[in-house]
Amino acid sequence: MTKIFTCICCFFLVAVFGPKSVRANRSDDRVAKAFLAFQQDTSKKVKATYSSTADTIGQMIRTLQKFKTNRDTINVRSSAAVPNLSLQQVIKGNLAGVYVQEPNGEPGTEQSMIVQGASGLLFSKKDIYALQPAVYLNGVPLVQDNPFAFDIQKYDYNRVGPATNLLSQISMDNIQSIVVVKDPYELAKLGPNAANGAIYITTKNARAGVRDISLNSYFGYVAAPSVNTVNGVYENNFRKPFYQKYATASNYASYASYLRDSTNTAYYGPSNWNDLYYQSTPTFSADLGITGGSDRANFRFFGSGTKNAGNADDTNIDRYNLFFGINMAPFKWLTVSSTVNTARLDRNRNKSLRDRFAETRYIPDLSSPLSPNASIYSGYLQESARNVDDNRSNILNGNLNLSAKINKIVISTSLAFDYNEGIRDYFTPSTLMDGVSYVSNYFGYSQRLLLNNFATYKYEINAKNAIDFEIGQSFQGDTYKYNYARAYNGPNDYVKLNIVDGNAGSDDYLNTLAANGFYVFRYIDKERNNLFSLYASAKYKYKDLLTLSALVRRDGSSNGQPNSRWVTTPAFNADWNLKEQFLKDNGIFDKLHLSAGWGRTLRIFQDDRFAAGPQYRSENGWFEEPTIPGYGGRLGINRPYDSGFIGYNISLPYAERTNLTIDATTLKGRLNAALTLYNRNDKNQVIGMPVPLETGYSANYQSGMDINNKGVELLLNGLVIDQPKSLSWSTGLNINYNQNELKALPNGVKELIYNNDNKLVVGKPVGSYWLYANNGIYNTNAEVPAGMTFNGIPMKAGDPRWVDYNGDNKIDSKDKILTGNRQPKFVGGWNNTLSYKNFDLNFNFIFALGQKSINQYEATKYGFVNREAGNDINSVKEVSSWQTFSNEKSYPIYNPWSDVDAYRTDQDLFLENSSYVKLRSVTLGYDFGKTVLFNKATGKGVRRAYLYATAMNLFTITKFSGVDPELVNYNGYYDGANLTIPRTFVLGFKLDL
Amino acid sequence: MKNMINKRNGFYQITIGMMLFLIGLGNFSCKKIDDVQSTRLATEETNWKTLEDAKANLLSVYGLIRSATVSDNTHWLMGDLRQGDFAITNRADLKAIVNGQLNASYPVINRITNWRRFYAAVNAASLFIERSKEIRALDPRYTQLNNDVDVAQARMIRAFAYFYMVRIWGDVPLLTSSHDGDFVKVGRTSKDKVLAFCTNELLAAAQVVPFRYGGTDPIMPGLYYGANWPSWNGIVFTRLSAYIILAHIAAWQGNYIDAANYSKFVLDNQSTQYFVDGANPLDYIDMAALTENQNNYSPFAYKRATLMVGFPFEAGNGLSTSNGHIEQLTLAAPYIPKVQPEMFVTKDSILKIFTDPKDLRFSIDPISGLYRKNYFTNFESEQPIFSKIKVIYPSNTSGNVTLFSSSMVFSRMEEITLLRAEALAVLGQREAAINALNKAANLRGPIVYLSASSKDLIDAIFEERRRELMGEGWRWYDIVRYNRIKNSNGVFATKNGVPMTFKQFETAGGIYWPVSQDVINANSLITQNPYWQ
């Protein structure tokens, strides 16, 4: 592989420079002169007679922007004044059809984007990784963290390593446009990377001009929320009714030890932990962009530094972003352009117990939770200060494009790369883990190299008819790797490194398990996959009336099985200008387009396991101890009984999309509307099918799961009031309605129980919950129908009255129903800008409606008996749980000691509507650049001097009973463990010189 | 100007070069570009080729059966809790087991009643039996004898897995080949058939496997996979292991003639592992080895010959874990930083069980009033700590690291000796039985059962098993065997208020566990154990 790659690179260099050097030998002076001419040209020629936009990427964007810039793009101008950190936050509610989940207010944590409905399952973190769209930065398809690291994890709350959201790397002030690509034809052009859709980001790039300097900065703070704290009294009172109703003497005997003594100030004293936990924290940013140069050679530089803070638990992230772009047109027909973007992300993570125990995989005695008392809690924080928790991501990506125009042929080649590495060093002292210190080190990287070549040829048949041809090929190589070691019980709390004996003569030479050192567990994993693609397309254009495009591509993925890894897929598009055709003289419509497209794209596996067919892995562990390496000190290999059998005949899945869009501009350009109907079929996906467990396997992976998403998108952009001299109001609304349906399962199966806890039924949404229906309580034994059992357990007074749907007097999994949906029906946003003279006011609403979630937080609160008895990860009581919420629901008082587990989460008791509408941001700004003040003082120097104040997350309208309906985990469970999304207030300026 | 033209031509060459490059790249073998050999797994092309493959695949079968028996502390939850000696502090799931509500709706109960983990070991063993011979043809280092011995071990593990499952669930599906890649649906097979299969397999395997691996055993002399006997003892099943399992199957079936014969074979052949080939000997263990992790003999703390049937978790191999050991359930302060144990033996029970004032495991000196602390700590408290087994990382008896390294011990010399005593007693060979009983009991103080004793011998043997094997996952199965022998008409259990004798209870399927609903959902041929329907 390396060889091939080196070979390609050499060939590339030779191809470009080879002929030149060969010729150079022939005649050195000519080269020298030519070079001189080149220099002179660029320095002298200010007024070029031809354009030199070396924009291989731009072509694509231009085709997308055929409906003006306001279709499916972010309003960059208003977004730039909002102190968002990540791409997902920028997009949330602002791109039609993109559902963004921000389940955690902790800055820099992972977030999810789902474009036009979920194309796969939604039950685990791994599933969510597989649903993410491709993000292109200046044509570079950014490489994601690979979820294969979850294989070695016991808990999947966070991926090992820094787990930083890599899409925090881009600074909004450097962005020219953000477009969501949903059009089947364009997606087919992008290929298998974009099977889930694509977000196409173009940064502000080098361009010609005298000079262009922009300086932007903001400063503000995230506000600490006001919380209603409680102490042991509340907890005690909360438990009282349960004990009064159901407790036996032995239940009383095992009453929670920390609540027993009401004179214990640790739990019964003042509850003021929030003073230390929630803090108003500054958040700030500054950046500088310089663009300049001539038509023949120009550049852009951009640098920024940002500190984005959370309001809880001292969390924040520092981002440093540098960007450099250059365009050159050494000759009329040749353009060279290159961009390099680099970022560093340093994250300060939370100190929650759950995340720490999930990392250490070590649960100490939990019988005494953290005290709500600030003076005691501060002791904990002091010990926590001895933690080491360095989380760093380094990101470097960029491209080099060459484009040559020879007559009507344009040949382009581009080399794109993205490399990101994550480093995490973690240490926690023995004082925090019952006398055992812990250290872990992670280094991992993801790397992508993409070589893209294509040639276009424009064939003009006559003035009315023209055809654009394009052929291209690309090669993409991805590598993912990590080294991870976790270790316990170092010699003391000052040794925070795992040191081995370096003396080759020693018995313990390099022995990580040597006595007196840490007890070390090491994990190393690496995965590579290649993608090779060829495509050809033709676009026929008849006047300004009709455009027909067709594309065929052939992709081969190394993650496919050898006999099915090459797949040919087509795509078509038609665009009909109705205005030109029928309404040429009509005054109502300024523009009216109808376009339709159909395309099929290959989808590639994230994991290389499927390519291998029947295989052997080292899977010797069990649920609680998933990474047992072998037996008797020797590595063992066996069939993947735990992760599931993979046979032959697994073929690659593919995505099919149909789009129909009508787009109109009316009222003299003041109203633009676009209506899109889409139908997505994600076919032939692989799913672990249940098998008889007597075969030893948990599942058998098979191809054949089809998922359909269809929906409607409406975009409305209007200039409601247009009085440039006084008030104007422009508004933009986007709404997406999506309907998800499981269409087929492998082998014609109609329904299956997936991983024991979820059910998939053909015809239902994949995000459905599978729950018992709760219908109250059995108050007395007499109320229980005779012989009624719950999974074989006789039901008694105090047990929930679950609905016996099949009437067999037994409540079991046959009585569970599919209900609710993890995914919203409607998502969208409403963005408004009011401007009056030099003032402007922007406010942005976002919404997601129709999704349901399980309130696991309340389930564990009510099920305190089982939670506290367990001493497992679910028994953890965070300091932030010492509070109550105004909108909390109250639930029936069941017998918490009952063997039926009355407060189980797989019942609709805890299912609730988590729809929301949020006022995401309000910005008030004033442009001094237009005032006399600046014009006089600096002549024509200042183009814009904009001063603004922005407030974020001002209010939420929701029926949800938790803190925030957004803080629901990807799997639909609200566990209350995530940090709140803070209110942010900033004051900033934007200066364009 | 002339130069310019020339230059243009020159750059045309570049573009020609670029085009060549395009075409050239297109002609790269696409197949090769897409051939990425995974470094994360072995495929059918790479496995079953070398001696090392045989070793890795065989040891994984052991690894899987170890995981099956200890995952979620199965061995102790199923063996020590039902009508056992332990009381539960808080955990509702453990309380449910103690109360006999084995279908209670708790995650741990659901997982331990899912038998997939045993079938993973069964399938891996079958696959090894079927496939390992392929290596013979490809790697000359892999001798026929080596292969035969390996296959015999796989058969022993498979038989052990079935026996272990039959004890838990009664009738279980019997799959004797891997059906690799073919997901067959099989219903339950009667437990007698399954046990007959196990017996045949073990008898056949016992003819093949040596008494020692990697040593001077004439059956298989020389290093085994490059390692000597000290590095293999306590890890792999020997010929003695086969006979121990055979003896237990026979005893479980009530076939005490065979049980006596098989256990006799084991005891008669102690010498095969007694101070040979440089390893610590197979021997009866004293109190220090039993409770203080004495280095040369402790079957719990180290892989030693004394671990006759069992599976080690050696700290030195990176195998200390928190789950999968009885310590997780029973230890607390002062041994580990934990306030309360999850289960303990009540003071009353201790006094009832340990009656001999000379018993070193536990007894109260009638004169001084002091008590012996080998089995229990904090006897005075409400929750005495059952501290018999305490192997805390790496092999300490106390410490802060709550990762444990104790082996899953199925059988050791004392256990098989007591089983022999039981068999002989049932067969009426009273003197021999008393000898065997005293042989074991004497290790724990001068405890002697006199042949003139009026105490029932069977009772005495089972009481000694109860004391000696406490916390080793035997109690429930001993209760079953004891009641089968006694066949008393007393009330053994009540279901829905209806009292049942042991016989009625057993006939109704009460001695077996329910099977997880997940198993039934996945295979329509599996029905729930009638007692739990």
- A27 vs A875: which has the higher pLDDT: A875
Residue among A20, A434, A451 whose CB faces B337 most closely: A434
Is B7–A11 a contact, with Cβ atoms under 8 angstroms apart?
no
Q: Residues 22-51, chain B: which have Cβ within 8 Å of A? A: 22, 24-26, 28, 30, 32-36, 38-44, 47
pLDDT in tens, A642-700: 999 999 989 999 999 999 999 898 888 889 899 999 999 999 999 999 999 999 999 99
- Confidence at A207, pLDDT banded by 50, 70, 90: confident
**Spatial CA neighbour of A263 closest among A286, A231, A291:** A231
ipTM at complex level? 0.92
Alpha carbon B186 to chain centroid, angstroms: 25
Which pLDDT score is estimated for A942?
78
Helix (H, G, I), strand (E, B) or coil at B395: coil
Listed in order, strand segments (DSSP E) in A380-507 are 388-406, 409-428, 438-460, 465-488
The nearest CA of chain B is from the CA of A816 a distance in Å of 13
pLDDT at A960 over 80: yes
The nearest CA of chain A is from the CA of B431 a distance in Å of 41
pLDDT in tens, B177-195: 999 889 999 999 999 999 9
Q: Please name the residue of chain B whose CA is at the shortest distance from the CA of residue A330.
A: B11
Is B40–A526 a contact, with Cβ atoms under 8 angstroms apart?
yes
| DSSP structure class, residue A873 | G
| DSSP structure class, residue B325 | S
Q: Please name the residue of chain A whose CA is at the shortest distance from the CA of residue B514.
A: A792
Which pLDDT score is estimated for A944?
86
Q: Which residues of B touch A488 (CB under 8 A)?
A: 393, 401, 403
Residue B380 near chain A (CB below 8 Å): no
Residue B323 near chain A (CB below 8 Å): yes
Mean pLDDT of A156-169: 92
Q: How far is CA A244 from CA A267, A354, A801, A893, B279, in A?
A: 22, 31, 20, 11, 62
- Confidence at B14, pLDDT banded by 50, 70, 90: low
Is A11–B114 a contact, with Cβ atoms under 8 angstroms apart?
no
Q: Which residues of B touch A485 (CB under 8 A)?
A: none
Q: Percentage of chain B with pLDDT > 90?
A: 76
Q: Please name the residue of chain B whose CA is at the shortest distance from the CA of residue A475.
A: B33
Q: Tell the burial category of A466 from Cβ atoms under 10 Å away from its Cβ (0-12, 13-18, 19+).
A: middle
Is A622–B320 a contact, with Cβ atoms under 8 angstroms apart?
no
Q: How many CB pairs under 8 A join A and B?
A: 371
DSSP string, A949-989: EEEEEEEEEE--SSS-GGG--TTSEE-S-SPPPPEEEEEEE
Residue B368 near chain A (CB below 8 Å): no
Cα–Cα distance for residue pair A479/B36, rounded to 1 Å: 11
| Average predicted confidence (pLDDT) for chain A | 87
Alpha-carbon dihedral B267, B271, B275, B277, rounded to 10 degrees: -120
The nearest CA of chain A is from the CA of B444 a distance in Å of 31
Is A513–B14 a contact, with Cβ atoms under 8 angstroms apart?
no
- Confidence at A579, pLDDT banded by 50, 70, 90: confident
| Average predicted confidence (pLDDT) for chain B | 91
8 Å CB contact between B315 and B393? yes
Q: Which residues of B touch A37 (CB under 8 A)?
A: 3-4, 7
Task: Indicate which of B21, B98, B112, B532 best probes the interface with A, i.e. most A CBs within 10 Å of its own CB.
Answer: B21
Q: Which residues of B touch A633 (CB under 8 A)?
A: 231, 314, 316-317
Which pLDDT score is estimated for A502?
79
The nearest CA of chain B is from the CA of A757 a distance in Å of 9
The nearest CA of chain B is from the CA of A221 a distance in Å of 42
Residue among A17, A406, A530 whose CB faces B36 most closely: A530
pLDDT in tens, A612-636: 999 999 988 999 999 888 898 888 9
Q: Which residues of A touch B324 (CB under 8 A)?
A: 622, 624-625
Residue B257 near chain A (CB below 8 Å): no
Which pLDDT score is estimated for A862?
93
The β-bridge partners of A320 are A305, A344
Size of chain B in residues: 533
- Confidence at A51, pLDDT banded by 50, 70, 90: very low
Which pLDDT score is estimated for A935?
60
H-type helices in A51-102, by residue range?
Answer: 56-64, 76-79, 87-91
> Judging by DSSP bridges, how do beta strands A769-771 and A438-460 pair with one another?
unpaired
Which pLDDT score is estimated for B466?
96
Which pLDDT score is estimated for A504?
83
pLDDT in tens, A783-826: 999 889 998 888 999 999 999 999 999 998 899 999 999 999 99
- Confidence at A41, pLDDT banded by 50, 70, 90: very low
Q: Which residues of B touch A18 (CB under 8 A)?
A: 17
- Confidence at B13, pLDDT banded by 50, 70, 90: low
The β-bridge partners of A665 are A591, A672
The nearest CA of chain A is from the CA of B530 a distance in Å of 11
pLDDT in tens, B133-147: 999 999 999 999 999
Residue among A23, A566, A813 whose CB faces B13 most closely: A23
Q: Percentage of chain A with pLDDT > 90?
A: 61
Cα–Cα distance for residue pair B361/B347, rounded to 1 Å: 14
- Confidence at A215, pLDDT banded by 50, 70, 90: very high
- B288 vs A12: which has the higher pLDDT: B288
Q: Which residues of B touch A455 (CB under 8 A)?
A: 19, 22
Q: CB neighbours (10 Å) of residue B317? A: 17
Residue B498 near chain A (CB below 8 Å): no
pLDDT at A844 over 70: yes
pLDDT at A8 over 50: no
Residue among A17, A638, A645 whose CB faces B60 most closely: A638
8 Å CB contact between B303 and B213? no
Which pLDDT score is estimated for A868?
86
Residue B514 near chain A (CB below 8 Å): yes
Q: Which residues of A touch B66 (CB under 8 A)?
A: 620, 631
Q: Which helix (H) or strand (E) holds A242?
A: helix A232-246
For A590-625, letters b (16+ CB in 10 Å) and e give bbbbbbbbbbbbbbbbbbbbbbbbebbbbbbbbbbb
Cα–Cα distance for residue pair A983/A949, rounded to 1 Å: 13
Q: Residues 99-158, chain B: which have Cβ within 8 Å of A? A: 101, 103-106, 111, 114-117, 119-124, 127
Which has the minimum average pLDDT: A488-492, A548-552, B5-9, B512-516?
Answer: B5-9
Q: Tell the burial category of A109 from Cβ atoms under 10 Å away from its Cβ (0-12, 13-18, 19+).
A: buried
The nearest CA of chain B is from the CA of A395 a distance in Å of 25
Task: Indicate which of A39, A693, A791 best probes the interface with B, i.e. most B CBs within 10 Å of its own CB.
Answer: A693
Backbone angles phi, psi at B116, to 5 degrees: -55, -40
**Spatial CA neighbour of B441 closest among B456, B462, B426:** B462
Half-sphere exposure of A264 (CA within 13 A, CB side): 16
Is A609–B38 a contact, with Cβ atoms under 8 angstroms apart?
yes
Q: Which helix (H) or strand (E) holds B405?
A: none
- Confidence at A490, pLDDT banded by 50, 70, 90: confident
Is A631–B24 a contact, with Cβ atoms under 8 angstroms apart?
no
Is B30–A623 a contact, with Cβ atoms under 8 angstroms apart?
no
Is A695–B43 a contact, with Cβ atoms under 8 angstroms apart?
no
Which pLDDT score is estimated for A74?
79
Q: Please name the residue of chain B whose CA is at the shortest distance from the CA of residue A701.
A: B181
Q: Which residues of A touch B184 (CB under 8 A)?
A: 692, 695
Which has the minimum average pLDDT: A524-528, A665-669, B94-98?
Answer: A665-669
The nearest CA of chain B is from the CA of A615 a distance in Å of 4
Residue among B101, B186, B342 whose CB faces A899 most closely: B101
Size of chain A in residues: 993
Cα–Cα distance for residue pair B157/B159, rounded to 1 Å: 5
Select, from the ranges A9-13, A37-41, B7-11, B275-279, the one with the highest average predicted confidence (pLDDT): B275-279
Cα–Cα distance for residue pair A71/B54, rounded to 1 Å: 62
Which pLDDT score is estimated for B326?
95
Mean pLDDT of A86-95: 92
Which pLDDT score is estimated for B503?
94
Alpha-carbon dihedral B496, B499, B505, B509, rounded to 10 degrees: -10
- Confidence at A725, pLDDT banded by 50, 70, 90: confident
Is B183–A697 a contact, with Cβ atoms under 8 angstroms apart?
yes
